[in-house]
Each structure stands twice: as structure tokens, then as C-alpha cells.
Structure 1
Amino acid sequence: MKRTSTISRPVEIGLRFIGMWPDSAYATLYWLFYMATMVIVQYYQYTYVFTHFDLSDISLLMDCLSLTLAYTLAFLKLFVLWWNRRTFYYIVKAMNEDWKECVINNSYKSTMMSVSDLSHRCTNVMISINALAAFFLSIGEHLLQSMGDVSGVDNNSRELPIKMEFPFDVSESPIFECFLIGQFLYELVLASIVGMMNALLVSLILHVSGQIDIIQQDINKISNSKYDSSLSLIVIKGLIYKHQKIITLSENVENLYTYIALMQLLWNTLVICCTGFVIIITIGTNANATTSIKSVSFYIAITLEVFILCFAGEFLSAKSRSISDAVYESLWYNMPPTNSRILLFMILRSQKRLTITAGKVVDLTLEGFTNIMKASASYVSILNAMY
């Protein structure tokens, strides 16, 4: 039996792991433990940055700073998500109510099942991309270096993939191998959670999209001539109720992700800039393939995060405007004036599009994504000129 939920099982497992899923056992304990782990890792990362801060070796500085900033962003995103957990609980409750209604109505269920399948596929792709990037950032880089070095690996020159400054030497075996495995597990879990957060946004937007498709189906019922005036009025009342639920759900999604989106746009502009600079330096100095693969995979994962946010906002805005188009294209002129006037108010409300904003300041659009990439490219050019 297929899972009757827009949120896929991997996303639910990830939310339970960080204590965000409604009615999870020991939710606060899980969240505190994971956040404390991130704080410890961040402490040693920033210690490395401050210890090795040298503008004469700007490539090394950009390499470790990009990963450190990305981890800081993930920490802040998890904190904001936890802060707004009550809003998320309300969203999950509203989605469950929508699915209960879909189970009763087969026409609604088929629409939502197709949306659910698309959501699950998108979730698998996004988490897989992040997990692959985590592999190349940790174990993958070390394995490729080991295979490329015929004479073996010099213990004195070995460095951990995630740059950290410890008060003791970690280059000796078996301490190095233990830290290497620990970093791999940490990076894999963190990358999967970041991918889960992006997949959650896509799932919520797709759920709203499915509900809009259901409204369009009901609009087609109104246009059907077999419905009389009294029955059409009942259907119209149901349309108004569903439309209001969609608006409320969309506003809650926007409240949940607005500050996450703001941090994502500002922070990832710097991270994309740093990572892009490392890629240019790697190509210009003919560095080994492992550094290039690590930087490119990380660049793709970071860029994908920004693209998902901007595409989700663009898709939601376009989908919300389709309601007014569907009402206008219906046979409203065959209805009694009383009923058609009600539809007129629905058209007016639909023209105020649903959207996701970054800090309630600017809408997330594909045009905004191109502006971010242009700004990052400009900063990379400045750094390259300074180098």
C-alpha cells in the first residue's frame, strides 16, 4: 500500500532524528544532542580558521572557510526550524486533514497520489546529491588520494578533509583513521539533514500545488451544465473554504522558511563565492583531481540549495495565479449573477499571488537566483584579481 502523505519516509526519519516531527519521543533531547555536536565541531573549525588565517595563502583560507560557513548556515537553519516548530506542527496537521479528505474522494486521491510520487522522487534526488557531495568531501577524497599515491601516504602530511585545529596530533594511526571515519559519518548525516530540509520545502510546495489542482477540478464541476443553481452555490462555498485553507497553509510555509531563505541567500552567496574561487585556483594551478572533484561536488550541492528555494517560490507564485485563470475560463456567464459575483471575489483574491519571501523583504524567484549567481561571480573575479 502506498504511503498517503506528501512528506516521504526519509524526510520523516530525518525530522524525527533532529526531534522535529510531531509527537516524537525525546524530541528535545535529540535536538539538544545534535546541536551540541554541531557546536563542538564548529568550535574546532573556527579555531583552525583563526589559527591559519593568512591572506598570503588565500586559497587555503577560502577552502576551509567555505565549508565552515556552510556548517554554520546549517546550524542556524536547524535553530530557526526548531524555533518555528509550532508552525510546522500546524502545517503537518493541515496536510493530514487534506489527505483524509482525499481518501474519501477518489478523484482527489488520484491527484494527490501523483503529487506524492513526485515529492518522493524529488526527495530521493536531493538527499542523494547531498550525500554524494559529503562522500567526496570526506572519505572519497582520502580514498582517491590513497589510490593516486603509489608510495603510500605520509603520516606527517596527512590532513583531515574537514579542517579542524585540535590540541593534539591526529596524523598518527589509528587516531587519524578514527577521526576520518567520524568526520565521514558527521558529514554524511549533516548533508542528509540539509537535503531533507530542502526536500521538506519542495514537499510542502507540491502539497499546496496539489490542493490548487483540486480546486481547479471543482471549478470544472461548476461549469458542468448538469448542476443546478443551488448545487452550484454549495460547490462555490466549498471552493471558497478550500481556497482559504490553501492561503493559510501557504502563509504558514512562508513563515516557516522566510528567515531560513534569507540566511540561505546571504550566506550561500559568500559560500558560492569562496568555493568558486577555489575551483578557479585549482584549475589555474593544475592541482590534483581530488581537490577539483571535492570542490565541484560541494559547489553543485550549495548552488542547488539556492536554486531549490528560488524555484519553489517561483512555482508557488505561478501556481496560485492559475486559480484566477481557471475561474475566468469557466462558464461563469451561464450562472446566476449572485453566484458569478462570488467567483469575481475569488478572482480578485487569487491575483494576490502566494509566494515565499526572504525575510519578508524580497520574493524568491528565478530572477533572484540569477542575481545571486551574478553577484557570486563578481566576488570571485575580485578575489581572483587580488590573488
Structure 2
Amino acid sequence: MITKVADRDTRPGKKEDSSSKKFRTLTNAIRFCTWTVGADVTKPEYKFYWRTYMTGMLIFMFMLCTGYTVYVDVVINADWVALLQTCCQSGAGIQGGTKFLCVLFYRKDVVEVLNFLHFTYEKHECLGPNYKKSLEDALKLLITCAKGLLSVYLVARLSCIAFPAAFYALYNEKLMVMQFLIPGLDPETIFGYWMLTAVHIVCTVCGFFGNFAADMYIFVFITSAPLVKNILKCKLEDLDTKLEAFNGQKILQKDVHEDIMGIINWHKNYLRLLESSERIFFIVIFVEMITSFMSNLSILYCILIGVWPSGKIYLAFTITSFFMFSALGTVVDSSNQDCSDIIYTCRWYDLPISEQRLLLFMLRRSQSTSGLSVGKMMPLNMNTAVQISKAIYSVLMLLMSGREQ
């Protein structure tokens, strides 16, 4: 069978986009999403403007209306099951507000990290095939993560909007897109229901752009740690080649001092990338894991007792997001371990004593590099995700056994 290959344009003069251009295209797409919610902090001389204030007002309105809904459910209606439905989606609002505030508060750190990553792609793509392959592999991983995250967000948000409409058309029963009420709007009336639905859709669309952009920043920063580590490996391999070229002759400090200092400075960049990511998204990760625990528990309980038909859609989104965040911590842990192995396996024994001491200091520092954490209480990795999942199951079984009694 003969297959026609038409994926790449091979016309004379037609060049494939470089890794740096592809990376800039990706970050520009993220900037567009942040622009829609007034948080394009990478714009030079960024200042708050009307989009920023509108997003802040939407988040504040969501919090107030959620509090009002809790009051109606508990005090007026004494309906604890409805309270659980309110808690299910309030986690997404809390996450969105936290990400919005953290990106604005740490905007200088965000710009600094992005500038460093752009510099990394532009500087190293012409240094040799090993560097180019490291950049291409990192970019391929990043684009895969972006496509996967975008698919999850689109399917979840569109399903949350479309399911109530389909349910109303089939069963003539009103379901709300989100689970908060607005004072003065009665969801039992036609006007009140459609006004609430319109507000819910606006919040859903705004939450899509804001949460997706913030999550993409997290993915870009954290999945770039293996890239910086692999470039460190390439620099050490270049040093090994240089040391091997001496062929047993005595190596003077001046022959390799500049190379060693460049390697040490690059390792400092790796550490600064991790420290900046931890500082910017420390609260975001903590809130993400706590609210995911509460949301998953509440949704599962509502599904088991059969009171929230559209809960399964939202459950799929929260579980996927929960494990994707946990996987990021595992990426950092693996990168830290690889970094130590890379430093240890280089030809440090061929270096002058003074340069060996420098590499020994770098090795010790790499062995004590900490990964991401959930509020400094537990490491962020897949093992923690499994433990939290077991806790959700245990609490859920306890709630169901109490209901049966």
C-alpha cells in the first residue's frame, strides 16, 4: 500500500518553524486567554483595567451568591443535600479566584520565568543536535499537555452548559448550569430560570478562560523543569567531550573553569525555576487539592443518592484535573533525581581539585532539592493522590452507612 505523505511542506525556501517560534506561539495563546479576563500580566507596564475589575466583580459576586445559596439551603429550606450540590461547584470558583489573585500578585515572577524560558529556547536551539532534541522533546510534551488540558476544559464546560438544556427538552425539568442562586431571581419562574442560566453561562465562560490560562502557566513552568535539566545534561556531556580530548594530559583550572562556572550557573537557573514555580503556585496547589477533595466527595455522594443528574459530567472533570496536578509533582521529583544522577555520572574525576569541589557542592545541592508540596504538609505526587482518593472513599462509605441507618 502506498501512502501519500502531505504533512510537511517541502517546497524550496519553506522552512519549518523553530522551537522558539512554536513556544512563543503557545505562550501567545495563553496570553489571549489571560487578556479575556484582564490578567495579561506579561504585557509591558501592565495595569489593572476594566476587564480586570469585571473579572474581580464576577468572582466576588460568585462568592456572595454562594454564601446566599448556603443560607437558603440550610436556614430556609433545611436541605443538606442541596448544600452538598452547592459545595460541589464552589470549589471551581474558589480555585479560579485563587489563581486570578496569585497571577496578579506574583506577576513580576511570572514575567521573569517566561522571559527565562524564551531565552532558553532562543539560545540553545542552535548549539547542536542534542540541545535541539531536548527543546523539541520538551515542546512536544508541552503541546500534548496543552491539547489534553484544552480538551478536558472544553468538554467539561460545554457539557455543563448543554446537559441542562437537553434535560429540559427531554424531561421538561429545570436544571441549573451552576449551583448558586441570586437574590431576587426565583429559579422556579421562567424569567428567573433563564436569567440565572445566562449568568451561570457567563461565569462558566469566564472561568474557562481564566482557569485554563492559569493551569497552562503551571504546566509551562513545571514541565520546563525536565527541559532545563536536559540542557544541563548536554552541557556536562560537552564538558566530558572536552575532558576526553585531553587524553590523559594534566588539566589546568583555566582550561575548564569557564565551562564549570557556566554549568553551575545553569544549575542555579534550574533551582530558581523550581523556587519561582513553588512561590507563585504554592497557594494555588494547596487550594486545588483541598477543594478537589471536597468537590469529589460531595459529587460522589450526590450521585450515589441520585439527586444530581449532571453531577457525573462535573465529576469526570474534577477527577481528571486532580490527577493532572498530582502528576506535575511526580514530574518535578523525577527531574530532581535525574539531575543528581547526571551530575554524579560526569567525568568529575578528570577535573582539577578546585573544580571537583565546585561540582561536589552542586551535587549536594541537587540532592537536597525539594519538590512541590501541598501546603508544606505532604508532597505533591501520585502517591499523595492515591492516599487522598482512599480518604475520599473512606469518608464516602461512612456517609452512606449513616444514611442507611
TM-score interval, normalised by the smaller of the two chains = 0.7 to 0.9
Equivalent position to 1:258, from 260, 271, 282: 282
Cα distance, 1:273 vs. partner?
Answer: 1.1
Tell me whether 1:315 sits opposite 2:331 in the alignment.
yes
1:179/1:94 Cα in 2 relative to 1: closer, same or farther (>3 Å)? same
Tell me whether 1:135 sits opposite 2:158 in the alignment.
yes
Separation in structure 1 between the aligned mates of residue 138 and residue 47 of structure 2, nearest angstrom = 29
Separation in structure 2 between the aligned mates of residue 116 and residue 188 of structure 1, nearest angstrom = 28
Partner residue, 2:61: 40
Tell me whether 1:348 sits opposite 2:364 in the alignment.
yes
Partner residue, 2:52: 31
- Whether the 8 Å CA contact 2:164–2:174 is kept in 1: the answer is no
Matches within 5 A, 1:71-150: 71-107=93-129, 108-137=131-160, 139-149=161-171
Partner residue, 2:228: 211
Equivalent position to 1:332, from 338, 348, 352: 348
Partner residue, 2:298: 274
- Whether the 8 Å CA contact 1:59–1:278 is kept in 2: the answer is yes
1:166/1:258 Cα in 2 relative to 1: closer, same or farther (>3 Å)? same
- Whether the 8 Å CA contact 2:102–2:284 is kept in 1: the answer is yes
Structure 1's consecutive aligned runs of 4 or more residues displaced over 6 angstroms after TM superposition are none
Tell me whether 1:246 sits opposite 2:262 in the alignment.
no
> Which is worse superposed, 368-377 or 69-78?
69-78
Separation in structure 1 between the aligned mates of residue 284 and residue 222 of structure 2, nearest angstrom = 15
Partner residue, 1:64: 86
Report SS of the residue matched to 1:131. helix
Residue identity matched to 2:343? V
Cα distance, 1:24 vs. partner?
Answer: 5.8
State the TM-score, normalized to the length of structure 2.
0.82
- Whether the 8 Å CA contact 1:45–1:68 is kept in 2: the answer is yes
1:6/1:207 Cα in 2 relative to 1: closer, same or farther (>3 Å)? farther
Tell me whether 1:303 sits opposite 2:319 in the alignment.
yes
Cα distance, 1:62 vs. partner?
Answer: 1.3
Separation in structure 2 between the aligned mates of residue 209 and residue 171 of structure 1, nearest angstrom = 53
Separation in structure 1 between the aligned mates of residue 363 and residue 46 of structure 2, nearest angstrom = 46
1:81/1:181 Cα in 2 relative to 1: closer, same or farther (>3 Å)? same
Percent identity of equivalent pairs: 14
- Whether the 8 Å CA contact 2:167–2:174 is kept in 1: the answer is no
1:182/1:109 Cα in 2 relative to 1: closer, same or farther (>3 Å)? farther
Cα distance, 1:159 vs. partner?
Answer: 4.3
Report SS of the residue matched to 2:245. coil
Q: Deviations over 1:211-249 (max 9, x none)?
A: 110110111122221268454333222110100111112
Partner residue, 1:13: 32
1:27/1:172 Cα in 2 relative to 1: closer, same or farther (>3 Å)? farther
Separation in structure 1 between the aligned mates of residue 185 and residue 317 of structure 2, nearest angstrom = 32
- Whether the 8 Å CA contact 2:282–2:374 is kept in 1: the answer is yes
1:318/1:142 Cα in 2 relative to 1: closer, same or farther (>3 Å)? same
Cα distance, 1:132 vs. partner?
Answer: 1.4
Q: Tell me, which stretches of 5 or more residues in structure 1 are unaligned?
A: none
State the TM-score, normalized to the length of structure 1.
0.86
Separation in structure 2 between the aligned mates of residue 72 and residue 201 of structure 1, nearest angstrom = 17
Equivalent position to 1:168, from 185, 188, 210: 185
Separation in structure 1 between the aligned mates of residue 27 and residue 385 of structure 2, nearest angstrom = 27
Separation in structure 2 between the aligned mates of residue 340 and residue 53 of structure 1, nearest angstrom = 67
Separation in structure 1 between the aligned mates of residue 46 and residue 273 of structure 2, nearest angstrom = 27
Q: Deviations over 1:235-270 (max 9, x none)?
A: 222110100111112101110011111222222221
Separation in structure 2 between the aligned mates of residue 80 and residue 179 of structure 1, nearest angstrom = 29
Residue identity matched to 1:298? Y
Report SS of the residue matched to 1:330. coil
1:352/1:129 Cα in 2 relative to 1: closer, same or farther (>3 Å)? same
Report SS of the residue matched to 2:386. helix
1:6/1:305 Cα in 2 relative to 1: closer, same or farther (>3 Å)? farther
Q: Deviations over 1:324-354 (max 9, x none)?
A: 2112222333334343333222211110124
Partner residue, 2:4: none
1:348/1:26 Cα in 2 relative to 1: closer, same or farther (>3 Å)? closer
Separation in structure 2 between the aligned mates of residue 257 and residue 323 of structure 1, nearest angstrom = 22
> Which is worse superposed, 71-80 or 51-60?
51-60
1:227/1:319 Cα in 2 relative to 1: closer, same or farther (>3 Å)? farther
1:175/1:106 Cα in 2 relative to 1: closer, same or farther (>3 Å)? farther
